[in-house]
Amino acid sequence: KRLILVGPPGSGKGTQSPIIKDEYCLCHLATGDMLRVAVAAKTPLGIKAKEAMDKGELVTDDLVVGIIDEAMKKPSCQKGFILDGFPRTVVQAEKLDEMLAKQGNKIDKVLNFAIDDAILEERITGRWIHPSSGRTYHTKFAPPKVSGVDDVTGEPLIQRKDDTPEVLKSRLEAFHRQTEPVIDYYAKKNVLAQLHAEKPPKEVSAEVQKALS
Ligand code: AP5
Ligand code: ZN
């Protein structure tokens, strides 16, 4: 399957991704995660992306399309993939369609993590991540066994630099202005499935299952 997860910051894309990935053996490509790795390593790509990411704005279409184009060439991504956080503009969606059309492929399903903005601040400010695995925790909704420590490796958890109430405001603004049109784009192609992303993680997983069966 070739899947896209779309939704505002904190809607649960990164939480559901590993579950879908394990079930369908798909490669998981999260542009936000890839960009954060590049920023931390101070690669040319990371240096270009940092300023926009810190402000909660989108990085340029060329940058992210380049990342996805490169990543999709991996043999593990040939049979199917989960795109988490891409495409986020209509231009990105069109470029993706072009890339896939060249291989005779297309998107099978777009999962829309629909949720009210009001719920997202609590989710974002309570989030803690384990950077090297991408595992995500929440102080209230998904606490680690030991506070501040990853369950599997025992390594320390960190908070994302853009997970502040102020930066969340611009991320939400970018979502409504630039990414909501992407949802319409896929609705017109009849590949959109709606999720109730405000529900607890297990119930969202059940909805994902249903949408993909
Ligand atoms: P990115 O990393 O993609 O961030 P985002 O879209 O803002 O999404 P998040 O990762 O914040 O949310 P999520 O839906 O994954 O939530 P999670 O599951 O972790 O992008 C970061 C930046 O990179 C962008 O601002 C931009 O600058 C740049 N960028 C990336 N892609 C780009 C692109 N294509 N074009 C241009 N620029 C791009 O959940 C959040 C918290 O809630 C967690 O603590 C979790 O435990 C908890 N939680 C999850 N589900 C539930 C639930 N059902 N109930 C209760 N708690 C829950
Ligand atoms: Zn995420």
Please report the domains of the chain, with CATH numbers, ordered by start residue.
1-212 (3.40.50.300)
Residues with Cβ < 8 Å from 152, sequence gap 6 or more? 130, 133, 135
% of the chain exceeding 70 in pLDDT: 100
Place of tokens 């470029």: 95
| pLDDT value of residue 119 | 96
pLDDT confidence of 30, banded at 50, 70, 90?
very high
Residues with Cβ < 8 Å from 142, sequence gap 6 or more? 15, 136, 201
Residue 71: name the closest of 89, 55, 85 by CA: 85
Asked whether the whole model's pTM tops 0.90, one would answer yes
Sign of CA dihedral 183, 197, 64, 179: positive
Please report, as a single letter, which amino acid is at residue 111. Answer: L
Please report, as a single letter, which amino acid is at residue 134. Answer: G
Largest distance between two CA atoms of the chain: 48
| pLDDT value of residue 9 | 98
Q: Is 56 in the pocket of ligand 1 (CB under 6 A)?
A: yes
Pocket of ligand 1, candidates 138, 162, 179: which has the most ligand atoms within 8 Å of its Cβ, to mutate? 138
How many C-beta atoms surround the C-beta of residue 171 within 10 A? 20
Is a pLDDT exceeding 90 seen at residue 76? no
Q: Is 7 in the pocket of ligand 1 (CB under 6 A)?
A: yes
- Tokens representing 4 are 């896209």
Quick check: 129 and 93 in contact, CB under 8 A? no
Is a pLDDT exceeding 90 seen at residue 146? yes
What does the pLDDT look like over 155-212, one tens digit per residue? 999 999 999 999 999 999 999 999 999 999 999 999 999 999 999 999 999 999 999 9
- Tokens representing 111 are 């999962």
Active site residue 171: yes
Quick check: 67 and 31 in contact, CB under 8 A? yes
C-alpha 14 to ligand 2 mean position (Å): 4
Q: How buried is residue 211: exposed, middle or buried, by Cβ count under 10 Å (0-12/13-18/19+)?
A: middle
Q: Is 86 in the pocket of ligand 1 (CB under 6 A)?
A: yes
Residue 197 alpha carbon, nearest atom of ligand 1: 53
Quick check: 91 and 8 in contact, CB under 8 A? no
Is a pLDDT exceeding 80 seen at residue 18? yes
| pLDDT value of residue 78 | 87
Is a pLDDT exceeding 80 seen at residue 25? no
What would the mean pLDDT of 45-72 be, rounded to a whole number? 96
Active site residue 135: no
